[in-house]
């Protein structure tokens, strides 16, 4: 068996950055005299001028790869500045932990990271290209705005409860057309429950009596002041969400073909397609197989084994929360459709529960997405809700039913009727 020597796999000229908010510690390792390696550690400010000086230093030394790890988003300025000139890697801090018993300082962290990097014992994290990063910023900000608007709506409901107004018990959406008219009337000074209930529109007209009971409360000028401010903020957030969505449509135009392909999948609309593309990009060469993508997204069960025995509960772990949110919404939306994915969700939900069904269907959607983005000639074809039934033979169904009866304590004798 051929054994590769250490010098055959070592990257000759490598730099490693341990990044903080105000400064970073940089370690560079290059070939030294004889068979030795030369190492130098310097500290730089994270200001742009200082980072440019560091880049010039790398160029003088002939550095080919720069590896960095950081807390929070402090890695972004050095990464964005260096990615055009060097092979730049962002690595997970969990992959470069110190050995037990070693002292920990920023200088030692940088040196350790550099030694691990030069031996190619690290994997780069996925950092999308600049056009995708722009879309990602927009889609993530949209999610944050929606969360903020939802929180403000919850404050409105709490305020109405404080005023003994129980309209949320009667109306499924307090912020629909009828609800907004009623709240506007409360702010304007109307307190008569009959008049407020008469503002109902559409199907809400059938609930007039219940609405009169719900509006029998103690709504004061104090409540009116707070409700005014809350509704104004909700309207501002709604306008901001609309503007962000319009901006997202402009920025994602170069990827319109990919959006259209993803839009064919049950449960995925244009907005969900934007969010998914923003998180995984459109270049699937970064993920060699669908399994790599689902594992990276934490939509595949974790495998832990020791001494031949499986450990843990097979949980997927915590991945990209924005991607998980988009896939979860797509899975729930698909569950209401008469499609293969909808039937898959319903079958799994009956046996394993809804949360597991959401993860399983989300993984199926992610596999479909990988194939559509990896192969421009691939087209989506729904297998249909009867796919399982047509592939489960009569013998298999019989065995399943007999096994279930055995579990219940029955002894079964089969006799054909014809």
Q: Exposure pattern of 350-364 as b/e (b: 16+ CB <10 Å)?
A: eeeeeeebbbbbbbb
Each as own residue / partner, the long-range contacts of residues 169-174 (CB below 8 Å, 24 or more positions apart, any chain) are 169/214, 170/207, 170/210, 170/211, 170/214, 171/204, 171/207, 171/211
* The token pair that represents 139 in the structure block: 């889609």
Strand, coil or helix: what is 297?
A: coil
Residue 30: how many other CB atoms lie within 10 Å: 16
For 21-57, the pLDDT digits (tens) are: 999 999 999 988 877 889 999 999 999 999 999 999 9
Residues 366-385 have a mean pLDDT of 92
Question: CA 117 from chain center: how many Å?
Answer: 28
Token representation of residue 50: 């200082």
Per-residue pLDDT, averaged over 183-206, amounts to: 91
Nearest to residue 129, comparing CAs of 332, 347, 278, 300? 278
Stretch 296-314: mean pLDDT, rounded? 69
Per domain, the residue ranges of the chain are 6-118, 131-251, 255-374
**230: Cα within 13 Å, side-chain hemisphere:** 22
The predicted pLDDT at position 121 comes to: 86
Q: What is the mean pLDDT of the chain?
A: 89
The β-bridge partners of 61 are: none
DSSP string, 308-361: TEE-S--------HHHHHHHHHHHHHHTTSSSHHHHHHHHHHHHH-HHHHHHHH
Identify the residue whose tokens are 């729930």.
332
Q: What is the pLDDT of residue 219?
A: 93
- 38/237 Cα distance (integer angstroms): 56
Domain covering 6-118 in this structure, CATH number:
3.30.420.10
Average pLDDT over residues 69-93: 90
CB 328 within 8 A of CB 297: no
Residue 409 Rama label (left phi>0; alpha psi -120 to 50; beta): left
Residue range 260-282: mean pLDDT, rounded: 94
Report pLDDT for 8.
53
pLDDT value for 302: 66
Give the SS3 label for residue 164.
coil
Q: What are phi and psi of 321, to 5 degrees?
A: -65, -30
Query: Rounded to 10 degrees, what is the CA torsion of 341, 344, 349, 352?
Result: -130
Instruction: Return the residue matching tokens 């009828």.
Output: 178
Query: Can you tell me the distance from the alpha carbon of 383 to that of 216, in angstroms, rounded to the nearest whole number?
Result: 54
Of all helices (H) and strands (E), which one includes residue 69? strand 65-70
- At residue 5 the predicted structure's pLDDT band, cuts being 50, 70 and 90, is very low
CA-CA distance, 358 to 6, in Å (whole number)?
46
Confidence tier at 2 by pLDDT (50, 70, 90): very low
Compute the distance between CA of residue 318 and CA of residue 335 in angstroms, rounded to an integer. 23
Question: Partners of 27 in the beta sheet?
Answer: 16, 41
Q: What pLDDT shows up at residue 42? A: 94
Helix-, strand-, coil-residue percentages of the chain, each rounded to 5:
55, 10, 35
3-state SS, residue 115: helix
- Which one has a higher pLDDT value, 16 or 412? 16
Cβ atoms within 10 Å of 174's Cβ, excluding its own = 18
Q: Which residue has the higher pLDDT, 337 or 99?
A: 337
Residue ranges in 175-314 assigned as alpha helix (H): 177-188, 193-197, 208-214, 221-251, 256-263, 270-280, 290-296
In this structure, are strands 305-306 and 309-310 parallel, antiparallel, or unpaired? antiparallel
């Amino acid at each position: 068996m051929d054994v590769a020597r250490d010098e055959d796999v070592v990257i000759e000229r490598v730099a490693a950055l341990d990044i903080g908010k105000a400064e970073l510690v940089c370690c560079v390792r290059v070939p030294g005299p004889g068979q030795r390696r030369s190492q130098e550690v310097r500290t730089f400010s994270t200001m742009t001028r200082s980072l440019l000086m560091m880049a010039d230093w790398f160029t003088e030394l002939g550095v080919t790869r720069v590896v960095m790890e950081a807390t929070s988003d402090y890695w972004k300025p050095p990464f964005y500045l260096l990615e055009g000139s060097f092979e730049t890697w962002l690595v997970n801090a969990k992959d470069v932990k110190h050995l037990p018993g070693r002292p920990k300082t920023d200088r030692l962290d940088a040196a350790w990271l550099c030694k691990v990097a030069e031996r190619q014992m690290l994997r780069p994290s996925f950092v999308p290209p600049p056009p995708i990063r722009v879309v990602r910023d927009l889609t993530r900000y949209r999610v944050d705005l929606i969360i903020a608007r939802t929180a403000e709506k919850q404050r409105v409901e709490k305020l109405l409860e404080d005023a003994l107004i129980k309209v949320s018990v009667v109306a499924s959406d307090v912020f629909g057309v009828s609800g907004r008219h009623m709240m506007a009337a409360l702010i304007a000074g109307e307190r008569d429950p009959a008049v407020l209930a008469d503002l109902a529109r559409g199907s809400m007209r059938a609930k007039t009596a219940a609405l009169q009971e719900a509006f029998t409360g103690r709504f004061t000028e104090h409540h009116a002041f707070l409700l005014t401010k809350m509704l104004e903020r909700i309207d501002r957030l709604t306008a901001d969400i609309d503007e962000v969505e319009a901006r997202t449509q402009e920025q994602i135009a170069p990827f319109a073909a990919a959006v259209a392909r993803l839009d064919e999948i049950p449960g995925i609309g244009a907005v969900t397609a934007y969010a998914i593309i923003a998180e995984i990009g459109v270049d699937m060469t970064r993920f060699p197989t669908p399994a790599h993508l689902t594992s990276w997204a934490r939509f595949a069960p974790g495998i832990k084994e020791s001494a031949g025995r499986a450990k843990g509960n097979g949980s997927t772990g915590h991945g990209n929360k924005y991607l998980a949110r988009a896939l979860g919404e797509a899975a729930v939306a698909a569950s209401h459709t008469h499609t293969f994915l909808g039937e898959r969700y319903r079958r799994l939900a009956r046996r394993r529960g809804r949360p597991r069904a959401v993860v399983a269907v989300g993984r199926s959607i992610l596999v479909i997405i990988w194939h559509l983005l990896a192969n421009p000639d691939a087209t989506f074809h729904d297998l249909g809700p009867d796919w399982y039934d047509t592939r489960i033979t009569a013998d298999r169904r019989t065995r399943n039913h007999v096994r279930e009866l055995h579990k219940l304590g029955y002894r079964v004798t089969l006799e054909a009727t014809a």
